[in-house]
Amino acid sequence: MKFKQLGIFSKASVIWLGIVMFMVVFGQWIPLPKPTNFDIDAMGVGLFDSLKHPLGTDSNGYDLLSNVIRGARPSMLISLISVGIGGLIGSTLGIISAYKRGKLDYIVNTLFNIVLSVPALVLGLALVAVLATNPDPNIEVPTSRRVIVIILSLTIVIIPILGRIARGATLSWSNREFVVAARSMGMKDSQIIMKHIVPNVLPAIYAVAFLAIGVVIVVEGSLSLLGVGIVDGVSWGSMIARVRGDLEYAPHSMIVPVVVLALTVIACNQLGDILRSQLDSREGRL
Amino acid sequence: MSSLLSLSNLRITFDTPRGQLAAVRGVDLEILAGESLGVVGESGSGKTVLSRASMGLLTMSTAHRSGTVVFDGQDLSTASREAVRDTWGTGMAMIFQDPMTALNPVRRIGSQLSEGLRVRLGMSRKEAKKRSIELLQLVRIPDPEKALRKFPNQLSGGMRQRVMIAIALACNPKLLFADEPTTALDVTVQAQILQLLSDLRQELDMSMVLVTHDLGVVAGHTDKIAVMYAGEVVEYAETKELFANVRMPYTEALLNSIPRLDQKSSGRMAVIEGRLPDPTQPEPGCAFASRCPYVQEKCQVEHPELQKADNGHQFRCHFPLGVAR
Amino acid sequence: MGLDRTVKSTEPLKRLAQLLLVVLGSTFLVSLLIRLLPVGLEDIYVVNPDPAGRAREIHNLGLDLNPFAFYLRWLNGFIHGDFGSYVYPGPTFVPVSQYITRTLPVTLQLIFYVQIVALTISIPLGLLSAYKVGTRIDRFISNGLFIFSSIPSFVLALILAFYIGVKLGWVPPLGYAQPFCSAEDIVRANACGFREHFKMMVLPVVALAVPLIASYTRLLRTDVIATLREDFVTMAASKGLSNRRILWTHVFRPSSVTLFTSAALNMGGLIGGALVIETIFSVPGIGFEIALAIASRQYFALQAYIAIIAFGYVFFNVIVDLTIGRIDPRSRERRQ
- B139-162 in b/e burial notation, b at 16+ Cβ within 10 A? bebeebeebbebbbbbbebbbbbb
Q: How far apart are CA C217 and CA B311, in angstroms?
A: 60
In a domain, B283, yes or no: yes
Chains C and A are in contact, defined as 3 or more C-beta pairs closer than 8 angstroms? yes
Q: What is the pLDDT of residue C6?
A: 38
Instruction: Say if B126 falls within a structural domain.
Output: no
How far C237 CA sits from the closest chain A CA (Å)?
Answer: 24
Q: Tell me, yes or no, whether A250 lies in a domain.
A: yes
- Lowest mean pLDDT of B20-24, C11-15, C196-200, name the range: C11-15
- Cα–Cα distance for residue pair A153/A76, rounded to 1 Å: 15
Of A130, A247, A269, the CB nearest to C33: A130
For residue A47, is it within any domain?
A: no
Looking at B164-168, C124-128, C150-154, which range is the least confident one?
C150-154
**pLDDT of res. B224:** 92
User: What's the CA gap between C268 and A173, in Å, rounded?
Assistant: 31
CB contact under 8 A, A129 and C294: yes
Decide: helix, strand or coil at residue A6: coil
With CB atoms and an 8 Å threshold, state whether B119 touches C134: no
Phi, psi at C84, each rounded to 5°: 95, 180
Task: Please tell me which chains touch B, using 3 or more CB pairs under 8 Å as the contact test.
Answer: C
* Substitution target from C1, C233, C258 for chain B, most B beta carbons within 10 A: C1
User: CA gyration radius for chain A?
Assistant: 22
Give the sign of the dihedral formed by CA B81, CA B83, CA B89, CA B92.
Answer: negative
- Let me know if residue A30 belongs to a domain: no
> Are residues A64 and A53 in contact, defined by beta-carbon separation less than 8 angstroms?
yes
Grade residue C336 by pLDDT with cuts at 50, 70 and 90: very low
Q: Which chains touch A (3 or more CB pairs under 8 A)?
A: C
CB C236 within 8 A of CB C227: no
pLDDT in tens, C58-85: 888 888 888 889 899 999 988 888 888 8
Kindly report the CATH number assigned to the domain that includes residue B188.
3.40.50.300
Q: What share of chain A is helix, strand, coil (3-state, %, to 5)?
A: 75, 0, 25
How many other β-carbons are positioned within 10 Å of the β-carbon of residue A273?
18
* Chain C residue with the nearest C-alpha to that of A106: C18
Angle, alpha carbons C284-C289-C293 (nearest 5°): 155
Residue A56 resides in a domain:
no
Mean pLDDT across chain C: 83
CA dist., res. A98 & res. A106, Å (int): 9
Do A118 and C155 make contact, defined as CB atoms within 8 angstroms? no
Contacts of A121 in chain C (CB under 8 A): 272-273, 275-276
More confident: C178 or A160: A160
B170 and B131 in contact (C-beta within 8 Å)?
A: yes
Whole-angstrom Cα distance, residue C216 to residue C214?
6
For A:181-240, CB contacts with C below 8 A are: 214, 218, 221-222, 225-228, 240
Q: CA of A96, closest CA in chain C: separation in Å?
A: 20
Q: Is A161 on the interface with C (CB under 8 A)?
A: no
Report if residue B85 sits inside a domain. yes
The pTM assigned to this predicted structure is 0.79
Angle between helix A120-131 and helix C286-295 axes, rounded to 10 deg: 20
A270 touching C, CB under 8 A? yes
Q: Do C276 and A225 touch (CB under 8 A)?
A: yes
pLDDT confidence of residue A95 = 93
DSSP type of residue A135: S
Within a 13 Å sphere around the CA of A126, how many CA atoms are in the beta-carbon half? 33
CA distance, residue C227 to nearest chain B CA (Å): 10
On chain A, the residues whose CB falls within 8 A of the CB of C26 are 114-115, 117-118
**Which residues in chain C have their CB less than 8 angstroms from residue B98's CB?**
231
- Chain B nearest-CA distance from C330, in A, is 7
The whole-angstrom distance between residue A223's C-alpha and the CA centroid of its chain comes to 13
Alpha-carbon gap: C142 to the closest alpha carbon of chain B (Å):
19
Give the whole-angstrom CA distance, residue B6 versus residue B65: 15
Mode of pairing for the β-strands spanning B224-229 and B232-238: antiparallel
The closest CB to that of B116, out of C2, C234, C239, belongs to C239
In chain A, whose CA is at the least distance from the CA of C146? A266
Contact state of B154 with C3 under an 8 Å Cβ cutoff: yes
Domain annotation covers residue A16: no
Assigned domain for A48 exists:
no
Is C273 in Cβ contact with A251 (below 8 Å)?
A: no
The closest alpha carbon to B227, from B240, B241, B211, belongs to B211
SS3 call for A37: coil
Domain of A81, in residue numbers: 62-285
The three-class DSSP label of residue A139 is coil
Domains: count for chain B: 1
Please measure the distance between the N-terminal and C-terminal CA atoms of chain A and give it in whole angstroms: 22
Please, what is the angle between helix B157-169 and helix B109-121, to 10°? 10
The residue among C263, C22, C211, C277 whose CA lies nearest residue A116 is: C22
Of C37, C271, C273, the CB nearest to A133: C37
Contact A265/C at CB under 8 A = yes
Q: What is the pLDDT of residue A286?
A: 37
ipTM of the complex: 0.78
Q: Shortest CB distance from B104 goes to which of C236, C238, C240?
A: C236
The CATH number linked to A200 is: 1.10.3720.10
State what percent of residues in chain C have pLDDT above 90.
14
Q: List strands edge to edge, sheet with B19-32.
A: B19-32, B3-16, B63-71, B74-75
- Nearest in space to B185 (alpha carbons), one of B87, B63, B98: B98
Record: contact C154-A254, CB cut-off 8 A: no
Q: What is the 3-state secondary structure (H, E, C) of chain B?
A: CCEEEEEEEEEEEEEECCEEEEEEEEEEEEEECCCEEEEECCCCCCHHHHHHHHHCCCCCCCEEEEEEEEECCEECCCCCHHHHHHHECCCEEEECCCHHHHCCCCCCHHHHHHHHHHHHHCCCHHHHHHHHHHHHHHCCCCCHHHHHCCCHHHCCHHHHHHHHHHHHHCCCCCEEEEECCCCCCCHHHHHHHHHHHHHHHHHHCCEEEEEECCHHHHHCCCCEEEEEECCEEEEEEEHHHHHHCCCCHHHHHHHHCCCCCCCCCCCCCCCCCCCCCCCCCCCCCCCCHHHCCCCCHHHHHCCCCCEECCCCCEECCCCCCCCCC
pLDDT at residue B45 in the model: 85
Cβ pair C335, B110 in contact under 8 A: no
Bin A49: left if φ > 0, else alpha if -120 < ψ < 50, else beta: alpha
Could you tell me how far CA C251 lies from the centroid of its own chain? Answer: 28
| Nearest chain C alpha carbon to A9 | C143
pLDDT for B250 beyond 80? yes
Half-sphere exposure of C188 (CA within 13 A, CB side): 9
Query: Which residue in chain A is spatially nearest to C150 when comparing CA positions?
Result: A266
> How close C2 gets to chain B, by Cα (Å)?
4
Q: Which residues of C272-286 are buried (b: 16+ CB within 10 A; e: fewer)?
A: bbbbbbbbbbebbbb
Residues 6+ apart with CB under 8 A from A201: A91, A95, A166, A169, A170, A173
Q: What's phi and psi for A274, nearest 5 deg?
A: -60, -45
* Radius of gyration of the CA atoms of chain B, in A: 21
**Whole-angstrom distance, CA of residue A45 vs CA of residue B22:** 64
CB A156 within 8 A of CB A270: no
3-state secondary structure of A17: helix
**C-chain residues near A130 (CB < 8 A):** 33-34, 37, 299
CB-nearest to C297 from A125, A137, A221 is A137
Answer for the pair C228, C251: CB distance below 8 angstroms, yes or no.
yes
Partner-chain contact C154 A129, CB within 8 Å: no
pLDDT value at residue B184: 77
Residue B230 is assigned to a structural domain of this protein: yes
Alpha-carbon distance of C304 to C289, in angstroms, equals: 12
Kindly report the CA angle at C295 between C303 and C298, in degrees rounded to 5?
35
Minimum distance, in Å, between the CA of residue A42 and any CA atom of chain C: 24
CA distances from A239 to A57, A61, A68, B107, B201 (A): 12, 13, 8, 54, 77
Residues near A190 by Cβ (< 8 Å), separated by ≥ 6?
none
- The model's confidence at residue C1, banded by pLDDT at 50, 70 and 90, is very low
Q: What is the mean pLDDT of residues C116-127?
A: 95
> Is B153 within a domain?
no
Which domain range does residue B251 map to? 3-91+171-315
- DSSP state letter for C2: -
Strand partners, C93: C87
Per-residue pLDDT of chain A (286 residues; tens, 9 = 90+): 567 777 788 888 999 999 999 988 887 777 777 766 676 666 666 666 666 667 777 767 777 888 888 888 888 999 999 999 999 999 999 999 998 888 899 899 889 988 888 888 888 888 887 777 666 666 677 777 888 888 998 999 899 999 988 998 888 888 788 888 888 888 888 888 888 888 888 888 888 898 899 888 888 888 888 877 776 667 888 888 877 777 667 777 888 888 888 889 889 988 888 887 777 665 543 3
Among candidates B90, B104, B159 on the partner chain, residue whose Cβ is nearest the Cβ of C240: B90
With an 8 Å Cβ cutoff, are A126 and C33 in contact?
A: yes
What domain count does chain A have?
1
Q: Do A121 and C158 touch (CB under 8 A)?
A: no
- B206: confidence class by pLDDT, cuts 50, 70, 90: very high
Residue B176 lies in a domain: yes
Nearest CA in chain C to B106: C328
B19-49 pLDDT, tens digit each:
788 888 889 999 999 899 999 988 878 888 8
Q: Which residues of C touch A227 (CB under 8 A)?
A: 295
Q: CA nearest C308 in A: which residue?
A: A118
Q: Which of A111, A114, A266 to mutate to test the interface with C (most CBs of C within 10 A)?
A: A114
Pairwise CA distance, residues B192 & B197, whole Å: 9
Question: What CA–CA distance (Å, rounded) separates C327 from C256?
Answer: 8
Give me the pLDDT at residue A46, please: 66
d(CA B269, CA B248): 21
CA–CA separation, B93 and B118 (whole Å): 16
**CA torsion, points A260, A261, A263, A268, in degrees to nearest 10?**
140
Specify burial of residue C334 (Cβ count, 10 A radius: 0-12, 13-18, 19+).
exposed
Evaluate if residue B82 carries a pLDDT over 50.
Answer: yes
Task: Please list the residues that pair with B212 across neighbouring strands.
Answer: B40
Q: How many CB atoms lie within 10 A of CB B16?
A: 11
CA distances from C72 to B154, C27, C78 (A): 48, 10, 10
Distance of CA C140 to the CA centre of its chain: 29
Q: Do C234 and B102 touch (CB under 8 A)?
A: yes
Residue B187 falls inside a structural domain: yes
The reply to whether B146 falls in a domain is no
Bridge partners of residue B211, in order along the sequence: B39, B179
- Chain C touching partners, 3 or more CB pairs below 8 A: A, B
CB–CB contact C240 B85 (8 Å): yes
Is A35 a member of any domain?
A: no
Cβ pair A219, A157 in contact under 8 A = yes
Per-residue pLDDT at A149: 86
Q: Is there a contact between C81 and C308 (Cβ–Cβ < 8 Å)?
A: no
Select the residue of C23, C152, C226 nearest A265 (Cβ to Cβ): C152
